[in-house]
């Protein structure tokens, strides 16, 4: 599943290509792609202008001229592609939207091989004036349970570290809990734990405060590096809006590296299972 860097790469691509464009004809080609809506997207979107893009963790949305948002769930295999009308010809095309904007007529295509993703038209919940002045912003009303991610001004690493230390489950599991900190998936959790020298099976409550803070700092650092590389792609299911893949997979130190020497101490990376998820770590130098 795309994690924060992959979703942010897509958001940046959309921000560059579709902001200022107005929806024309919208076609929903598969019912699962528009599930969860109280309205018909083909009826409500035409005539609305895309005024901006935003993201929290793995959640991406387009802000609309009527004050609502188009929340995009990429899930396992969702792709948002921008191009000339008719350019995308895929059996997995789920939604096709005509856009009229500065670049002329374009087509925004939502491709989703596994049909887990969707588009949802939802209201935005705005912060009060004091919160807005502090950098807090509006988010879709359907994701209030999603915690701020490490790149948001609302994110408080010290308070989040304290929350991690109240958990009786493995630290890897806590990092994947989107109600504690959002945007981190299995790839970047393993990479952050390797960088912070924390064993993935270590219980959250067993961490020192400084180690929990280090985990969050390393999570942000590794995702920032992944952003520079365009994200992590292992197959053709994750691509940017122009169809390009990311190449951060070449820089992974732990995730998927079982049997390879640790870049820090040379010991073989091992694989274990934490709460049903594969986890990769160095048994020698991940000792915190």
Number of other residues whose CB lies within 10 A of the CB of residue 133: 9
Residues annotated within the binding site are 92, 114, 167
Residues annotated within the binding site for DNA are 92, 114, 167
Phi/psi of residue 72, nearest 5 degrees: -110, 120
15: exposed, middle or buried (C-beta count within 10 Å: 0-12, 13-18, 19+)?
middle
Phi/psi of residue 79, nearest 5 degrees: -130, 135
CB 260 within 8 A of CB 253: no
Phi/psi of residue 197, nearest 5 degrees: 60, 35
| Rounded CA separation 56/183 (Å) | 7
Which conformational region is residue 63 in: left (phi greater than 0), alpha (psi within -120 to 50 degrees), or beta?
beta
| Rounded CA separation 272/260 (Å) | 15
287: exposed, middle or buried (C-beta count within 10 Å: 0-12, 13-18, 19+)?
exposed
Can you tell me which residue has the tokens 């807005």?
Answer: 132
Q: Catalytic residue numbers?
A: 2-3, 58, 277
């Amino acid at each position: 599943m795309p994690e924060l860097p992959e979703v942010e790469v897509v958001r940046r691509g959309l921000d560059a290509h579709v902001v200022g464009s107005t929806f024309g004809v919208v076609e929903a080609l598969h019912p699962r792609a528009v599930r969860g809506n109280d309205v018909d997207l083909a009826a409500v979107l035409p005539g609305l202008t895309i005024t901006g893009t935003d993201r929290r963790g793995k959640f991406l949305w387009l802000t609309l001229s009527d004050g609502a948002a188009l929340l995009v769930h990429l899930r396992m295999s969702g792709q948002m592609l921008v191009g000339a009308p008719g350019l995308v010809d895929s059996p997995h095309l789920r939604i096709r939207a005509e856009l009229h904007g500065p670049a002329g007529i374009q087509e925004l295509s939502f491709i989703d091989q596994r049909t887990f993703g969707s588009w949802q038209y939802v209201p935005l919940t705005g912060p009060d004036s004091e919160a807005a002045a502090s950098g807090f912003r509006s988010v879709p009303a359907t994701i209030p349970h999603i915690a701020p991610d490490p790149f948001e001004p609302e994110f408080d690493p010290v308070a989040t570290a304290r929350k991690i230390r109240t958990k009786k489950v493995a630290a890897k599991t806590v990092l994947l809990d989107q109600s504690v900190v959002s945007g981190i998936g299995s790839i970047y959790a393993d990479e952050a734990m390797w960088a912070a020298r924390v064993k993935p099976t270590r219980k959250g409550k067993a961490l020192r405060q400084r180690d929990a803070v280090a985990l969050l700092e390393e999570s942000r650092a590794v995702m920032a590096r992944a952003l520079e590389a365009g994200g992590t792609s292992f197959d053709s299911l994750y691509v940017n809006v122009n169809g390009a893949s990311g190449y951060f997979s070449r820089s992974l130190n732990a995730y998927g590296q079982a049997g390879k020497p640790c870049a820090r101490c040379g010991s073989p990376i091992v694989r274990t299972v934490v709460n049903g998820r594969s986890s990769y770590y160095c048994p020698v130098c991940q000792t915190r």
